Amino acid sequence: MRTDPSVFGKVAVLMGGSSAEREISFMSGRGVLAALRSQGVDAHAFDPAERPLNELKKEGFTRCFIALHGRFGEDGTVQGALELLGIPYTGSGVMASSVCIDKVMTKRIWLADGLSTPRYVLLRRGFYSPADVVGVPEILGLPLIVKPAREGSSIGLTKVISAHQMADAVAQAAQLDADILCEQFISGDEVTCPVLGTGADARALPVIRIVAPEGNYDYQNKYFTDTTQYIVPCGLPAGEEAAIQQLVLAAYQTLNCRGWARADVMIDAATRQPYLLELNTSPGMTSHSLVPMSARADGISYEALCLAVLQSASLDHQPAPAPLGVSA
């Protein structure tokens, strides 16, 4: 049965923001805004980089769809402000959002729970020496990946083929973050798997296999070219796809995520072991984005997906009811 759009009230689609992914956030937000309006939702664009968040309360917004990506949107900061304002929002809460934006902290939790993720070395700006940088390939082998610990969309990421590239790769990542993640490179199939729902009701959607030009799934090939192939159904053996879905669901639940998210996974070509790379708590919703693609393969239209995510909007801490005899 279709939900009456009036139950959502006045909805702000948060887009833009001040992260390095501002451009992508606008692409996501505009798609979501158009979809919600097409379904009769009273939805409006809101850019937190241009307007203070307390205007949401002043202007009577009752729910927020977060289409922000990266810092100051996906990292718990906006979520915390909305908690204080008492306005339910889409996606994970403050703690889960702040953990998931940090790829190193995410790995530590996954490893503590016995979930597979590539080996890594953390370099912290101001604490590592040239010798530490040179020594990373000796620990992780080559090739390896160097990236900022708290950026998305492959921004600042370098695939290091030779030890001579290490200093430049680390310097590039250090321009974006004080924490630089050096990660074991897993050679094999690259896949992604979204999750919808919360707690015991959460479920993994179909896995998408990604085939990028020369295996380079970078910022350009993610958003601005049509040469990357997205294969869904993924073509993996049924048991393999089910194992990835089970792993991703465990990764989502152990981090206490809610609403929706998308996990990126590499499958080792030799062993067929899947390795978790990261979990995005505010996934892209552009024309090239993967959650809508996976949802469509599951029979869920873009518009229905946006409505389902909006319906899941909530707060970490619901306001307590006023005591009897006391007016709010």
| 3-state class (DSSP) for residue 2 | coil
Active-site option among 284, 289, 302, 312: 284
Handedness of CA 144, 147, 150, 154 (dihedral sign): negative
Comparing CA positions, the residue from 58, 32, 54 lying closest to residue 45 is: 32
Whether residue 284 lies in the annotated active site:
yes
Active-site option among 278, 294, 302, 312: 278
Active-site option among 97, 153, 289, 294: 153
Whether residue 108 lies in the annotated active site:
no
Integer-rounded Cα Rg, in Å, for the chain is 20
Active-site option among 17, 21, 31, 98: 21
Helix spans in the chain (H): 22-38, 54-58, 77-85, 94-100, 103-112, 130-140, 166-174, 219-223, 238-254, 290-297, 302-311
Whether residue 38 lies in the annotated active site:
no
Whether residue 262 lies in the annotated active site:
yes
Whether residue 119 lies in the annotated active site:
no
Q: Is the Cβ–Cβ distance between 24 and 153 less than 8 Å?
A: yes
Comparing CA positions, the residue from 225, 209, 222 lying closest to residue 297 is: 209
Tell me the backbone φ, ψ of residue 192, rounded to 5 degrees: -140, 150
Active-site option among 75, 262, 275, 302: 262
Comparing CA positions, the residue from 156, 194, 183, 177 lying closest to residue 284 is: 194
Comparing CA positions, the residue from 279, 115, 309 lying closest to residue 194 is: 279
CA distance 211 to 318: 43
- The interaxial angle of helices 22-38 and 302-311, nearest 10 deg, is 100
CA distance 89 to 9: 13
Question: Two tokens at 307?
Answer: 């409505």
Whether residue 28 lies in the annotated active site:
no
Whether residue 153 lies in the annotated active site:
yes
Active-site option among 63, 91, 264, 312: 264
Whether residue 21 lies in the annotated active site:
yes
Active-site option among 28, 92, 221, 280: 280
Q: Which residues are catalytic?
A: 21, 153, 223, 262, 264, 278, 280, 284
